[in-house]
Amino acid sequence: MDAILLQILNGLDKGSAYALIAMGLTLIFGTLGVVNFAHGALFMIGAFCAVTLQKMLNLYSVVIDPEKTDFLGNPLKVEVPYVASWFGEATGQMIINWSVPLAILLAIPVMLAVGYIMERGLIKHFYKRPHADQILVTFGLAIVLQEIVKAFFGANPIPTPAPDLFKGSFDFGLLIGFAENTIIYPYWRLIYFVFSTAIIAMVFSFLQFTTFGMVVRAGMADRETVGLLGINIDRRFTLMFGIAAAVAGLAGVMYTPINPPNYHMGMDFLVLSFVVVVVGGMGSLPGAVLAGFLLGVLESFASMNEVKSLLPGIDQIIIYLVAIAILLTRPRGLMGRAGVMEE
């Protein structure tokens, strides 16, 4: 029982990332009708927002400490971060330590701007083009973006630690009656799951309970009728593209302590997230979220040593096998609707 609970917990953080990326893909497809293969690159850009802020906060000046000497007896040169000089040693170190959560403040405007430029500058020209053209162009854009990131940050993963407060693990087993250290779960993975759940709830609430969201949902169902009512639905859909980009970016920011950012991480997540979208049902937000968590947990179970000893390599293909099985029995996915990508 403890092994089952542990694998469910282990699957939640990756399932959260799948769900957030898949939700953004579904928002874009549902509003604009565009299959956006550059969405994984937005996840990567968000992660590198955290890297950029960390590097900025660690910029320093060299000062002379007259009270200390180096091994040659000369006054010691000390590297002092600018934030420590501006706000004091304690506050400066706290800001540096909390660079990942603070990167959210940087990522939101950056991702909204990137989403707006991407949609207005390129994707709007492919609204009425075949899906194959959309996939080709956005996939090419993703390659360009990841090569730009590689040129600036290099090819190697960049460690981006969580705040000291959230290092270590939570004894989940002790909470539910198991022996000590039976089921332990890293604090940051728990934070990531809670954060992802909150973002998903906010997006659903925005679409369900605001006038703007109701118009967007109506436009997703019947764009032409909404346009005939005199509503500028294109402007709202452009904003939704920006929101979807911001969601992917925030998912990337908070994932950096779990998986050190590298230039191809977006492509790694994109392929699996697109499978999640198809399994959940093209155009279905609840389906994308449900499939994201289900496949994340399933992948975790397939990664168990006991399973891999019986079926070597199953953890690499399990999501695709399940996708094939679901699409053979439910061609529209778990919660897909009629008419989506069936023309």
HEC letters along 33-53: CCCCCCHHHHHHHHHHHHHHH
Residue 306 lies in a domain: yes
Residue 76 lies in a domain: no
Most trustworthy range by pLDDT among 5-19, 87-101, 180-194, 290-304: 87-101
CA-wise closest residue to 253 among 37, 117, 51: 51
Number of domains in the chain: 1
pLDDT above 60 for 175? yes
Residue 85 lies in a domain: no
Query: Mean of the pLDDT values across residues 147-173?
Result: 88
Percent of the chain past pLDDT 90, that is, above it, reads: 25
Residue at token pair 């996708």: 323
The pTM of this model reads: 0.85
Q: What is the mean pLDDT of the chain?
A: 84
Residue 183 · residue 173 · CB < 8 Å: yes
pLDDT 10s digits, 15-40 = 888 898 888 888 888 777 788 888 88
Residue 41 lies in a domain: yes
Residue 259 lies in a domain: yes
Residue 75 lies in a domain: no
Domain membership of residue 8 as a residue range? 2-60+99-329
Spatial separation of the C-alpha atoms in residues 256 and 13, rounded to whole Å: 12
pLDDT at 53: 94
Residue 94's Cβ-side half-sphere holds a number of Cα atoms within 13 Å equal to 6
pLDDT 10s digits, 116-159 = 998 888 888 887 788 888 888 988 999 999 999 999 998 899 99
Residue 220 lies in a domain: yes
339 — pLDDT class (breaks 50, 70, 90)? very low
Assign residue 232 the CATH number of its domain: 1.10.3470
230: left (phi over 0), alpha (psi -120 to 50) or beta: left
248 — pLDDT class (breaks 50, 70, 90)? very high
CA-wise closest residue to 25 among 270, 254, 298, 326: 270
Structure tokens at 69: 């000497």
260 — pLDDT class (breaks 50, 70, 90)? very high
Residue 67 lies in a domain: no
Most trustworthy range by pLDDT among 231-245, 249-263, 287-301: 249-263
